[in-house]
Structure 1
Amino acid sequence: MLIFFGCLALLVLGYVVYGTLVDRIFGSDENRPTPASTMYDGVDYVEMPTWKIWLIQLLNIAGLGPIFGPILGALYGPSALLWIVFGSIFAGAVHDYFSGMLSLRYNGASVPDVVGQNLGNVFKQFMRWFSVILLLLVGIVFVLGPAKLLTNMTHISVPVLVGLIFAYYSLATIMPIDKIIGKIYPLFGAVLLFMAVGLTVALIVQGHEFYPQRTLSNVHPTDLPMWPLMFITIACGALSGFHATQSPMMARCLKSEKRGKAVFYGAMIGEGAIALIWATLGMTFYYGSPELGAALAKGGPAYVVNEVSTTLLGGFGGILAVVGVVILPITSGDTAFRSARLIIAEMLNMEQKGYFKRLAIAVPLFVVGFLISLTEFDIIWRYFGWANQTLATVVLWAAAAYLIQNNKLHWIATIPAMFMTVVVTTYLANQPIGFGLDLQVSTYIGLVVSAAATAAFFIKFRKCGCEPEPEAE
């Protein structure tokens, strides 16, 4: 139990100390006008209270990532806790902070424009298409996941539930952000917090021994290698490129840059805590990786969520907890499609005040999403995992570029960018969805690619005619 609370304390300390350092290096300015006031449109640019934005941001970025990912990551044993804690503090929260704050500085720009401002037009065009593809994958994953959970609870068929969820998505995607998202998502955020705290308290009260396998060695029951799979599998629980697509939505609603640390860095620390809880539940409730692996074999992470929640909290509490887990992906899936709509609108230079123009983009997105949802879930999840971490890597490089161009301490973004370049390259070279090479060879390739990317970064930005930071309007 001391290990668990020690990890929680590190996350809080990371927010207080390292989050403050990151905010100070960036130089947030409470007197600088924000897009919510300078570009108000009543649809996407709308001022909202900071507490509400924090809850919405937490709900938007959470999805299935900090639940399904950590449950699967728990198969590796307590070593997963190290990546969740230190990954959240030094990589994930830094990534989320800069994706949000740079959007603020660039008038609420979406992630492709944020990347393009700092890495150039080639990266901007690449990120436009890559982001839309990732958002489609996210939206689909966050349709199928809750549909399967609801099927376990209600016995309604998955296709029917998928249709109902897509119907909700279509409404939430085109409505002004303060009409549905701004009104009910804070309530869902409260359910999410109840779920996390309730399950933790129940685990303690019922006397479960925390982390019975107390070793940092790889204890995966099928001997899957920890490197680099664990860093891809846990995904949103420590670092997620999907968050960079969500942060601009809340950047368009902030009243002051000084709220950015709490909203962007803080929400990721909150997600890290949720990931820590679910990894702990996976390791503790099942008393070891073999037992967790057996539960996963019965029905995947959805089965584990259902069994853990109903066993620990009983009938009403278990249903409430599972509903919380269902709400998480649905409320991230709709904002994924909303983000995709906004990115495509920017590509087409199509303003989004009118409902018809929003529908003209949203409807084709839903059709494509539904067709992809017919593919096997496990295949979609693998591609999502790699694409998600690759997007995060690019955003970290963009943050590093911004910092070095403005003569700020860039290493807070450069070091995690270098590490994640090794991770995503190694994964792509080694896994069947990529080139299927030997793991050792793949790791060497990852190291070489990361070294080359780092060298190119310094060559470009040490000698470039760097663009100054954008002035406030």
Structure 2
Amino acid sequence: MPPVMYFLLSLAALIGGYFVYGRVVERMFGADNCKATPACTMADGVDYVKMNPKNIFLIQLLNIAGLGPVFGPILGALYGPWALVWIVLGSIFAGAVHDYFSGMLSVRYAGKSVPDVVGYNLGNGFKQFMRFFSVVLLLLVGVVFVTGPAKLLDNLTGWGLMVWVTIIFAYYFLATILPIDKIIGRIYPIFAAILLIMAVGLTAMLFIKGYAFFPAAQWTNQHPTGLPLWPLMFITIACGAISGFHATQSPMMARCIPDENCGRPIFYGAMIAEGVIALIWATLGMTFYQTPEALNAALTAGGPGKVVNDVSMTLMGPIGGVLAILGVVVLPITSGDTAFRSARLTIADFLNFSQVENGKRLMIALPLFVIGAALSQVNFDIIWRYFGWANQTLATIVLWAAAAYLVRRGMLHWMASVPATFMTAVCTTYICYAKIGLNIPLNISTWIGIAVAVVSFGLFLSKRKAFEASPA
């Protein structure tokens, strides 16, 4: 089979997954267009605002697609074509399922944030844990998505890193406190156009310029430094396959959708679209650079940002390249702003604090940004390593909550419990093996991860009667 077919078949699988498996997920959830959504019953002109479904899709896509579906797949490309397999299977059977349930459960629970969504299904203990865990994760995301785009913009303009950090923080603050339709609802369609130019343009230029797709691809672990594929690839490629950060973003759009039938294109569909972006960048990493060693050399010289710059400028020229780079800059900025906004909403839900008045929004937002500014001075690489594990752990918990919800509805739970079990093994193995964790040898860490996953699944099955006894 010609290597270009790896890309084309992966793209076809993602699109087919949306139309086929997406409908199965929607039916299992029980979407009901007759149920009034929070945007209709709780409109407040600030966070609960009914919006056009097409605009909501664009906002959701940009909310969830931070640097993850670009930087993660570039790093994941070092492992070879197995990265494509994870992007496709992860997006269809794990990430999009996770995103759909996190969004639609929020719709059913009055637009509540992820701690309440998890708490309604897994109990008060998980709810209290998630309140702390999700806010910390959102702060990490907000900070990571300040420094990342600031570096890219500094490379383009030479204005200085701190100048761009200040500008981005100022924008984030306004996007956090103003009504959602004033900034986010108006400028995201423009950002989406830039994003589409980046994704479609770069892919087209690979064909136009006659690049040989995946010239060194082998179905082995091709990482030049010998880093193990398991479990590192499943942590490295997060936002392009499954990401807990998305569960913190979905409630924002759950407060805006006009009816439940919008859920599949907005939540499941946006994750599939992000999978396509990840597929493109993994393909670029394995195609633009002739070997994993060449890609690794570029990463060593300047990180994923250098790869983005080199690929964009070479394939699309100076003008197109700048647009492509701006498309990559847009991704983290349109996730960083909503990360801080989601943190505000999560804290407000916990305190039962109305957010209609400007003063009350400021009371939560100001301390968040003070903490965020302090965290921005911490080494980016350290923050990103902890974010990767925390992100996938959050996704795992949300999948277990979705499985519990399906049991309550009397439906088959496997579409949520199987990926939840797999991700439990991934996260446990990683934190046992990684130097930032317990630093245990990989073979022992793997067995610990498998054991924890099996025990977790067993505990879930043992709780089925309790889940069935409580209403969905």
Q: Deviations over 1:45-94 (max 9, x none)?
A: 00111110000100000010100000000010111000000100000000
1:325-340 equivalences in 2 (<5 Å): 325-340=328-343
Deviation of 1:327 after TM superposition, in Å, equals 1.1
Q: For the Cα contact (< 8 Å) 2:404–2:467, is it kept in 1?
A: no
When residues 464 and 37 of structure 1 are mapped into structure 2, their CA distance, relative to the original with a 3 A threshold, is closer
Aligned to 2:402: 399
The root-mean-square deviation of aligned C-alpha atoms, in Å, is 0.8
Q: Which amino acid is 1:127 matched to?
A: M
Q: For the Cα contact (< 8 Å) 1:71–1:279, is it kept in 2?
A: yes
Query: Which residue of 166, 176, 200 maps to 2:203?
Result: 200
Deviation of 1:463 after TM superposition, in Å, equals 4.3
Query: Which residue of 365, 386, 400 maps to 1:383?
Result: 386
2:196 matches 1:177: no
Q: Which amino acid is 1:257 matched to?
A: E
Q: Which runs of 5+ in 1 are unaligned?
A: none
Q: Which amino acid is 1:414 matched to?
A: S
State the aligned residue count: 469
Q: For the Cα contact (< 8 Å) 2:217–2:286, is it kept in 1?
A: no
Deviation of 1:465 after TM superposition, in Å, equals 5.9
Q: For the Cα contact (< 8 Å) 2:62–2:188, is it kept in 1?
A: yes
2:95 matches 1:89: no
Q: For the Cα contact (< 8 Å) 1:78–1:213, is it kept in 2?
A: no
Q: For the Cα contact (< 8 Å) 2:434–2:440, is it kept in 1?
A: yes
Query: Which residue of 308, 315, 319 maps to 1:316?
Result: 319
Q: For the Cα contact (< 8 Å) 2:407–2:468, is it kept in 1?
A: no
Cα separation, 2, equivalents of 1:59 and 1:116:
27
Query: Which residue of 371, 374, 379 maps to 1:371?
Result: 374
Cα separation, 2, equivalents of 1:397 and 1:97:
14
2:134 matches 1:140: no
Cα separation, 2, equivalents of 1:26 and 1:465:
15
Q: Secondary structure at the match of 1:207?
A: coil
Cα separation, 1, equivalents of 2:140 and 2:422:
24
Q: Which amino acid is 2:64 matched to?
A: I
Deviation of 1:466 after TM superposition, in Å, equals 2.4
Aligned to 2:279: 276
Deviation of 1:42 after TM superposition, in Å, equals 0.3
When residues 246 and 414 of structure 1 are mapped into structure 2, their CA distance, relative to the original with a 3 A threshold, is same
- Percent identity for Structure 1 against Structure 2: 65
Cα separation, 1, equivalents of 2:60 and 2:42:
20
Aligned to 2:65: 62
Q: Deviations over 1:294-335 (max 9, x none)?
A: 000111001110111111100110001111111110110000
1:2-401 equivalences in 2 (<5 Å): 2-401=5-404
Q: Deviations over 1:373-424 (max 9, x none)?
A: 1111110110010000000000000000000111111100000000000000
Aligned to 1:447: 450
Cα separation, 2, equivalents of 1:381 and 1:155:
24
When residues 463 and 349 of structure 1 are mapped into structure 2, their CA distance, relative to the original with a 3 A threshold, is closer
Q: Which amino acid is 1:288 matched to?
A: T
**Structure 1 stretches (4+) deviating beyond 4 angstroms?**
none
Q: How high is the TM-score relative to the length of structure 1?
A: 0.98
Q: Which amino acid is 1:233 matched to?
A: T
Cα separation, 2, equivalents of 1:412 and 1:193:
31
Q: Deviations over 1:436-465 (max 9, x none)?
A: 001010011111111111111111123456
Cα separation, 1, equivalents of 2:373 and 2:210:
44
Q: Secondary structure at the match of 1:261?
A: helix
Q: Secondary structure at the match of 1:350?
A: coil
Q: Which amino acid is 1:15 matched to?
A: Y
Q: Which amino acid is 2:332 matched to?
A: P
Q: Which amino acid is 2:387 matched to?
A: F
- Of 327-336 and 207-216, more deviation after overlay is shown by 207-216
Q: Which runs of 5+ in 2 are unaligned?
A: none
Cα separation, 2, equivalents of 1:463 and 1:306:
53
Q: Deviations over 1:254-305 (max 9, x none)?
A: 0110110000000000000000000000010011210000000111001110
Cα separation, 2, equivalents of 1:11 and 1:465:
33
Deviation of 1:214 after TM superposition, in Å, equals 2.5
Cα separation, 1, equivalents of 2:83 and 2:395:
19
Cα separation, 1, equivalents of 2:97 and 2:193:
25
Cα separation, 2, equivalents of 1:49 and 1:386:
35
Q: Which amino acid is 1:382 matched to?
A: R
Cα separation, 2, equivalents of 1:185 and 1:463:
43
Q: For the Cα contact (< 8 Å) 2:410–2:468, is it kept in 1?
A: no
Q: Secondary structure at the match of 1:236?
A: coil
Cα separation, 2, equivalents of 1:214 and 1:434:
32
- Of 454-463 and 241-250, more deviation after overlay is shown by 454-463
Q: Secondary structure at the match of 1:237?
A: coil
